[in-house]
Amino acid sequence: MEKMTSPYKWGMVIDLDRCTGCGACVVACQAENNVGLCDKKEIAEGRDMHWLRIERFWVGEYPDVRVRFLPVLCQHCHDAPCEPVCPVYASYHNPDGLNGQVYNRCVGTRYCGNNCPYAVRVFNFYPHDWPKPLDNQLSPDITVRSRGVMEKCTFCVQRIRRAKEEAKGEGRMVRDGEVQPACAQTCPAEAIVFGNMADPQSRVARLSRSPRRFRLLEHLGTHPSVYYLKGGGREHV
Amino acid sequence: MKRRTFLQLSGMTAAGTVLSGCQSGNEKLIPYLVPPDEGVTPGKADYYASSCRFCPAGCGILVRVSEGRAKKIEGNPAHPVNRGKLCAMGQAVLQELYHPDRVPQPLKRSGPRGSGAFTRISWEESLELLAGQLRALQREKATDRLALVTPQLNGTLVELTTRFMRVFGSPHHLSFDLLGPDWLRTATRRSFGQPGLPWYDVAETRYLLSFGADFVEHHLSPVQYGYAFGRMRQGRDTVRGHFTYVGGRMSLTGASADRWMPARPGSEGALALGMARLILAESLSDAGSLAVNGLQTEKLLRRLEAYDLPRVAEQTGLPQRIIAEVAREFATTRPALAMAGETVAFQSNGPDAVRAVQMLNLLVGNLNRPGGVYPDGGSRVGPENSFTELLSLVAAMRDGRFRVAMIHGDPVHAIPPATGFQEALARVPFIVSFSSLMDDTALQADLILPDHAALESWGDVIPLAGTRDRVIGLMQPVVTPLFDTRQFPDVLMAMADKLGGKTAAFPYQSYQEMLKGTMEKRVGRAARRDFETVWVELLRQGGLFETRQGQEKGYRRAPGSSLPNPAEPRFAGDEKRFPLHLLVYPSIAFYDGRGAPLPWLQQLPDPMTTVVWDSWVEINPRTAAEMGIGFGDLVEVTSPQGAMRLPAVIYPGIRPDMVAIPLGQGHRGMGRYARGRGSNPLVLLALITDGTETRPAWHATRVRLTRISEKGELVTAGHPQGSYRSELIEI
């Protein structure tokens, strides 16, 4: 039997000092992953389908007011609260440390979404259709999810797979920076860095050792694979 | 199929696979009824390099094409402007290509104007229709009664339109963009005697002082400056660049700043000169730079006498201590950089305020230095029309001077109605629109000749102020056209052909050939011998990227240029009846409105307010509380020019005496995703005159608010304050 360990532990670092909150990552994620188009009514009901959102916080009062942005996506926890509650094992952990979701196994109990402290799993409440010829934009690499399943960020697993296959064909490991999810690829300020945490020399592993690092809701003990770096420097508020 | 049959069949297939052994069986497994013509391999994507022309920044893109369909747009890593990065708008251009409401073929109006009743006609018929109109003008020797209205064009397209209009015999080509940086060009010419736009070296600077320049959102080249901003912040080992933002509304760019200085609208120029005076008085200025530019400290100080700290503090409404602190930080940190942006420029005293900010750069000696300002590498070839020229065109239209108007773009939506453009246009008997979507202008047209989408077009894009190098991005069609559309330049060439006698003016068969011809001229003699190979290589890499060989001309103060002296700001609207300042700003998703038809952009939560699918008015919490306005209430905004109803957003980052409305929504047409969403704040803008020129008072209009009801129907993607408590997640 093949051993269940892997030389890869995919992880991400988001530098909040670089992030300008511009939203390029949000659209890139939708474009890459066939995320459904939600009209105003659906979003009003809280049934928005974004896999990646930018949280915005107002701190202080005029004129000493500041804004902070926090891109939130699936944190790919090592002790993921969504996994043990899934009755059909649609939510699972893969050897690379990804928190995976098997769409055709999902029966839509939404227990996982209920248990996720980061509110990053989105449920398909409606059938999302792409009016012709808009359906031409759908990526052939990813399934188009139907109504009634839970979906989420996968760190663009289709890109990871391709990179791994290519590397395997050439008999080597995936190089640092060779594979990037759509959000990291497009981020103008290079705030999002993705890579192999298991390689201590990778850029993402080096950044994750920064003294500015923290993880979301760390006290819950979910051990996310996404590290954030706090803003630095002097602040005047 | 029965289970038994299925098992039999699968058993046979498995055996077949084993038998075929080492041969690659894959080709046999997926047969085509109609074999693909272009060597399409199923499941294998190709990447085509092209350029984004959504905004003037002109980033390079790579389009992922799979089975003949464009799937995803990514930044081109080889392009010097965006280096593989791309903004939200650039990603969404894909939806322009596949928009379900594109105009599929030429349309002729069949009902009253603006009713939207059109009948489909063929290209032959439509071209003949236009040619007939133009021939009539030629016959009557009235060729100057043709007007061409386009956005600011560049590259080969300018050559073509200029030649067409000249050969036809009409001088009336208005190339105008509401967001075009003419103001910056004019100010730079007056300060430094050079028309080139500035290129700011943000990545290397240590202190960035932005006077309303929203470089993360739309100012000049947002992806380029977003990249530079990231490097300024955390790209160097020991230095973290400091960023101070001046402006009455905290924009998305301002949100990234370490310090926000909410100066009173119209006082930014005075603030810059106040800082200049303090820097000179405390001898913090760069003596070398002053000497090179022929300035003396004592003389300057005498001229700046009026801008003493207490007076500037009173004008701007900022504490003296903070002004002095920022001025000292700016002067003592090297290199430091000051930028001026739209919110400053569109005041009544805008031109001088922009020059005042430019003078700060001169004082601290950062002209033509790393971390400072350089002239950009872009070559400006096209006509640049200012607002004044727009006004004179409108006046001529109103007098009934035009018989035919050919319009590219959507000026009916993007030009403030205070100019009278919309009414004047109604007096033109024959309007031709080249819009590929049924936008507000196309709705008024008599004939629609739909253009290709950007991803189906040939073209060259000269990026706006994105590099110091000469860059010409190329556009190539990445998919075969979806509909029966034709590219705007090809239509012009066909028209020239039809009008006859002038074909010599266009020695090319198609625009593609013309483009190839101009590129051949640009690459230089050495490369021209085997141009076919060079051309393919240029298309492959996405354009012509040249690094500059040190022949550039740096900035130097124009001899005899006067010191900027911003006047007291004036506002449209009486202070008593209209107590609040209005700021109209380009939204990060819609730019001047062209992003509104794309659903990805409509449902992209606005970063500062998280509002989706709508427009809104931003009000300071204190002002809102005083007026009894709650989050999401419907309010009426009234200016001397007009009124509109909008949902309210309580916005902590705006001055209490100010409200702000994003641009881009409020289309009557533009397809199912844009139609009837939000409102267009341009109807509120009045015009202001500063004695020499008239400009739209984007930031110099006063308004009043009236609460209407609590039913604003505002939808936000997040909680108004964020769905976590920020202290819980440690930021």
How far apart are alpha carbons B248 and B268 in whole angstroms? Answer: 10
pLDDT at B36: 58
| Chain B residue with minimum CA distance to A139 | B71
Contact (Cβ atoms closer than 8 angstroms) between residue B100 and residue B88: no
Consecutive H or E run containing B120: strand B118-120
How far apart are alpha carbons B159 and B162 in whole angstroms? Answer: 5
**Domain check: are B279 and B221 in the same one?**
yes
How far apart are alpha carbons B225 and B229 in whole angstroms? Answer: 6
pLDDT at B19: 44
**Domain check: are B397 and B261 in the same one?**
no
Q: Is residue B658 part of a domain?
A: yes
Quote the Cα angle for B645-B650-B654, to 5°: 100
**Mean pLDDT confidence for A148-162:** 93
Using the Cβ of A26 and the Cβ atoms of chain B, whether some distance falls under 8 Å is answered with yes
Which residues, other chains included, contact B599 with Cβ-Cβ below 8 Å and sequence gap of 6+? A37, B95, B673
How far apart are alpha carbons A61 and B667 in whole angstroms? Answer: 35
Determine, for residues A186 and B85 on separate chains, whether the beta-carbon distance falls below 8 Å.
yes
pLDDT at A111: 93
pLDDT at A208: 93
**Mean pLDDT confidence for A145-168:** 93
Identity of the residue numbered B234 = Q
User: Which carries the bigger pLDDT value, residue B50 or residue A3?
Assistant: B50
Identity of the residue numbered B511 = Y
**Domain check: are B86 and B111 in the same one?**
no
Q: Is residue B23 part of a domain?
A: no
Alpha helices (H) in B176-286, listed in sequence order:
182-192, 222-234, 252-255, 268-281
Contacting residues of A for B608, CB less than 8 Å apart: 21, 56, 67
The shortest CB-CB distance from B612 to any of A40, A60, A191 is to A40
* Token pair in block for residue B661: 């409305």
The 8-class DSSP code of residue B517 comes to: H
Which pTM value belongs to this model? Answer: 0.90
| Chain B residue with minimum CA distance to A47 | B717
pLDDT at B321: 94
- CATH number for the domain that contains residue B82: 3.30.200.210
Q: Is residue B69 part of a domain?
A: yes
B226 is in which domain, residue-wise? 198-375
Write the pLDDT tens digit of every residue in B39-50. Answer: 667 777 889 999
Contacting residues of B for A218, CB less than 8 Å apart: 730
**Domain check: are B92 and B116 in the same one?**
no
pLDDT at B549: 54
Where does B366-492 show beta strands of DSSP type E? Answer: 373-375, 404-407, 430-433, 447-448, 459-461, 470-475
**Mean pLDDT confidence for A121-140:** 90
Q: Is residue B325 part of a domain?
A: yes
The total number of structural domains in chain B stands at 4
pLDDT average per 10 residues of sequence, chain B (731 residues): 56 47 48 60 84 91 90 93 92 93 93 89 94 91 91 88 88 88 87 86 94 92 94 88 93 92 93 94 90 87 90 93 94 92 88 91 90 80 75 92 93 91 93 93 94 93 85 92 92 86 70 90 75 89 78 76 85 90 92 91 92 93 93 93 93 93 91 90 86 76 92 80 56 59
pLDDT at A121: 92
Mutate to test the interface with B, among A19, A39, A58 (most CBs of B within 10 A): A58
Using the Cβ of A210 and the Cβ atoms of chain B, whether some distance falls under 8 Å is answered with no
**Mean pLDDT confidence for A186-202:** 94
- CATH number for the domain that contains residue B305: 3.40.228.10
pLDDT at B225: 94
**Domain check: are B224 and B366 in the same one?**
yes
* Token pair in block for residue A117: 């402290």
Q: Give the ipTM of the model, two decimals please.
A: 0.93
pLDDT tier at A87 (50, 70, 90 boundaries)? Answer: very high
What are residue B127's phi and psi, to 5 degrees?
-65, -35
Q: CB burial class (10 A; 0-12, 13-18, 19+) of residue B239?
A: middle
**Domain check: are B707 and B587 in the same one?**
yes
**Domain check: are B440 and B465 in the same one?**
no
* Token pair in block for residue A48: 């928005």
Write the pLDDT tens digit of every residue in A205-219. Answer: 999 998 889 999 888
pLDDT at B101: 92
Contact (Cβ atoms closer than 8 angstroms) between residue B442 and residue B102: no
How far apart are alpha carbons B661 and B583 in whole angstroms? Answer: 6
> Which CA distances in Å does B56 have to B222, B386, B595?
10, 16, 14
Helix (H, G, I), strand (E, B) or coil at B37: coil
* Token pair in block for residue B473: 């991005």
Determine, for residues B66 and A140 on separate chains, whether the beta-carbon distance falls below 8 Å.
yes
pLDDT at A2: 46
Q: At what angle do helices B511-523 and B488-499 cross, to 10 degrees?
A: 110
Question: How close A156 comes to chain B (CA, Å)?
Answer: 14
**Domain check: are B723 and B665 in the same one?**
yes
